[in-house]
Amino acid sequence: MERIILIEPQSKEDHVYKHVRMPRLGLPILGTQLQEAGYTVKIFMGTGDLLPWSQILQADLVGISTTTATCREAYQIAGKLRAHGIPVVIGGMHATFMPDEALQFADYVVRGEAENSFLPLVRALKAGLVPADIPGVSYWKDNEKFHNDLIKTRVDMDTLPIPDLSLLEKSSSMFTIPVMTSRGCPYNCTFCCVTEVFGRRYRHRSTASILEELNRYRGKNIFFCDDNFAAKPELTKELLRGMIASDIKLKGWGAQVRVDAAHDDELLSLMKRSGCAIVYIGFESINPATLQKYNKQQTVADIEKAILRFHDFGIRIHGMFVVGADTDTVETIRQTASFAYQTRIDSIQFMILTPFPNTSFYDKLESEGRILTRDWSLYDGHHTVFQPALISPEELQLETIKAMKSFYSPKNILQNLTLTGFGSVIHRAIGWVLTRHFERRNRWYDNLLKQKQPGASRPVALLYRLLRASEKNKPQTDTGQLKVSLTEYKGILYLKLRGLADKLQLAEVKKVLRDLSKEQYSQVVVNIEGLRFASDNAASVFSNYLNKLGAQVRRLQVVTAAEKQANYLLGKGNKKRLRMQRFELLINRT
Ligand code: B12
Ligand code: SF4
């Protein structure tokens, strides 16, 4: 167990942030710890089909990170690795909240902050031990799941190594370097899940250690990825004074702050002098009732003041809004867009309120039966995944993109040229391109939400066609009969295949699958638990059919009865077949 690969998956879903090449810091920190302990480590970022599989399949162990939006890709990658016999550890935000789900796809799950548990886990596995007493680890034993308790004490940030970003493939092409100075946030916004992983107590690194890290990045762009960079203004000022005194000249830096930071002129002045180019502020809403609902502990007057003060110091503002609260209407969304323009915020992001698992908002919607989909890849702030209170899901979806389009309209691009300079113009131009690109690519979801409206027609004609096709299958022998059954529910098509799949039968299945792809289902589930393949070749032909279908429908899941059947489909053991499959395998272990 010497070669360890770490993967930060990206979602296949179209997403504005897909174009930002910056890792979260978890894997670089864990990778550096492993490297210092003598392991050979590499970190890759990307969607499964673009990863360098020939390198990855040489690993002795692979660790995969998750957020809610990227977990589907993570599970798919994990499925492929396990089929090749490579042990998989999954960690990160989503796995922390949904360990049972993640364990369906992994050998081990590490919950919470992992700096005190991942290296001990790797060492235990190397020694052939069961990780029964490593905190935060979930694992299988005798087909049963075990979840060790989380460690009580939080990680001391000064004991962590400075992340070695060169472990990351193509690290030199990173435009902005992530640096973290603190963890934890004392606030408790209802939609946020950060405090569940990092806690509400604010922990920070020593100024000396942060300066040592920044010293490596002179002349570069830095993003401080703390949740609240100026939570303790006196400490932040100490750091900024240190940067100025040691003449650490960065190309520019940005950070997430709350509106409160604007109350302190000394802080603003130090920010400017140390090279702060842009702040990312969670304004969230201009609807006072919504601010209260989010428990944001700020007012619209605070927001207005913050915009003025940051602009007075020549610092650009990226305003982050969350729309879709139970107190929001179509008007709220429209008014937010004109507010952003009138107050001259430099760039904005409108996130659709998203019930991330383990938040109080998720629990509320769940208990009220308002969750529309648990397709986690849509939990990215760009898709409406719940039933809003005062508007329809479709309205929330369409109005949000309309509001983004009205802000990022070509006629607004130059608005802040004389106020905050060329940076603002570039951000707005990029926003214009990305918003339109996203709108085009996401039409399928607008259509799906339309289908969910009462009275919308269901595509039943196709079902009849398919059922007829399956009836044509004349049984070869009593046992050789292939049975196809279909059900459609809320835009998801379930296709169940039972019997023996030989060449002849597969020709029929091919026709069925070919027809399916034309209909653009959002999700197709193919259950082959009762299907037997007449030969290896038949399995590989079937796997090819599935791949073609997987490339055309948005999501294809294949349910198999046993690992053996799944391995057949993946062509396990055949090193030439390195292509990433375009379907998810769900192995029913019961
Ligand atoms: C920097 C950042 C970004 C950057 C880069 C992100 C990227 N490449 O994914 C940008 C700006 C591009 C971004 C975009 C988005 N982000 Co963001 N982002 C962050 C932020 C602020 C810091 C990330 C970080 O470095 N954390 C610090 C490190 C140390 O934590 P970590 O990586 O999670 O790792 C620790 C553990 O989780 C665990 N661990 C993690 N992976 C693994 C793997 C293994 C094998 C093991 C053992 C352990 C382990 O151990 C690590 C060490 O303790 C976080 C908030 C936060 N505090 O984490 C939000 C956060 C991750 N983002 C979030 C979201 C929602 C998004 C967006 C969807 C939209 C948005 N609202 O901004 C997009 C989508 C990104 C995508 N990839 O699809 C949410 C995710 C919520 C969720 N349940 O999934 C967070 C938590 C913010 C929030 N307030 O809710 N983001
Ligand atoms: S949204 Fe920001 S301020 Fe609110 S709890 Fe999360 S990290 Fe803290």
Tell me the pLDDT tens digit for each residue of 266-281: 999 999 999 999 999 9
Tell me which residue of 183, 205, 26 sits closest to 118, measured CA to CA. Answer: 26
| Cα separation values, 305 from 2, 52, 220, 298, 344, Å | 55, 49, 30, 11, 12
CA angle 563, 565, 567 (to 5 degrees): 65
Q: Is 11 in the pocket of ligand 1 (CB under 6 A)?
A: yes
For residue 101, pLDDT beyond 70: yes
Specify which of 333-347, 501-515, 537-551 reaches the highest per-range mean pLDDT: 333-347
Name the residue with higher pLDDT: 552 or 496.
Answer: 496
Q: Is 93 in the pocket of ligand 1 (CB under 6 A)?
A: yes
Q: Compute the distance between CA of residue 32 and CA of residue 9 in angstroms, rounded to an integer.
A: 19
CA of 250 to the centre of ligand 2 (A): 27
For residue 463, pLDDT beyond 50: no
What confidence category does residue 106 fall into, taking pLDDT thresholds of 50, 70 and 90? very high
For 164-173, how does the pLDDT look when each residue is reduced to its tens digit (9 = 90+)?
A: 999 999 888 8
CA of 413 to the centre of ligand 1 (A): 30
Q: Which ligand is nearest to the CA of 15?
A: 1
Looking from the CA of residue 193, the nearest atom of ligand 2 is 6
Q: Compute the distance between CA of residue 355 and CA of residue 386 in angstroms, rounded to an integer.
A: 8
Q: Is 393 in the pocket of ligand 2 (CB under 6 A)?
A: no
Q: Residue holding tokens 């040691």?
A: 246
Q: Compute the distance between CA of residue 153 and CA of residue 149 in angstroms, rounded to an integer.
A: 12
Q: Report the DSSP beta bridge partners of residue 141.
A: 144
For residue 98, pLDDT beyond 80: yes
Q: Is 275 in the pocket of ligand 2 (CB under 6 A)?
A: no
CA of 67 to the centre of ligand 1 (A): 6
Q: Is 228 in the pocket of ligand 1 (CB under 6 A)?
A: no
262 CB-near residues (< 8 Å, 6+ apart): 268, 305, 306, 309, 310
For 195-219, how does the pLDDT look when each residue is reduced to its tens digit (9 = 90+)?
A: 889 999 999 999 999 999 999 999 9
pLDDT of residue 119: 98
What confidence category does residue 467 fall into, taking pLDDT thresholds of 50, 70 and 90? very low
Looking from the CA of residue 256, the nearest atom of ligand 2 is 2
For residue 465, pLDDT beyond 50: no
Tell me which residue of 520, 555, 378, 375 sits closest to 447, measured CA to CA. Answer: 520
**For ligand 2, atom 2: residue with the closest CA:** 227
CA of 202 to the centre of ligand 1 (A): 17
The residue ranges of DSSP E strands in 116-269, in sequence order, are: 137-141, 144-147, 176-179, 182-183, 203-204, 221-224, 252-257
Q: Which SS3 state, helix, strand or coil, does residue 328 take?
A: coil
pLDDT of residue 110: 98
Looking from the CA of residue 70, the nearest atom of ligand 1 is 78
Q: Is 359 in the pocket of ligand 1 (CB under 6 A)?
A: no
pLDDT of residue 522: 64
Average pLDDT of the chain is: 88
Looking from the CA of residue 97, the nearest atom of ligand 1 is 83
Do residues 28 and 113 lie in contact, with contact meaning Cβ atoms separated by under 8 Å?
no
Q: Is 113 in the pocket of ligand 1 (CB under 6 A)?
A: yes
Q: Is 298 in the pocket of ligand 2 (CB under 6 A)?
A: no
* Ordered DSSP codes for 524-570: EEEEEEEEEESSHHHHHHHHHHHHHHHHHSS-EEEEESSHHHHHHHH
What confidence category does residue 372 fall into, taking pLDDT thresholds of 50, 70 and 90? confident
Q: Compute the distance between CA of residue 29 and CA of residue 34 in angstroms, rounded to an integer.
A: 9
For 113-150, how does the pLDDT look when each residue is reduced to its tens digit (9 = 90+)?
A: 999 999 999 999 999 999 999 999 999 999 899 999 99
Share of the chain above pLDDT 70, in %: 88
Pocket probe for ligand 2: among 195, 320, 349, the residue whose CB has the most ligand atoms within 8 Å is: 195
pLDDT of residue 529: 86
For 22-79, how does the pLDDT look when each residue is reduced to its tens digit (9 = 90+)?
A: 899 999 999 999 999 999 999 999 988 889 999 999 999 999 999 999 998 999 899 8
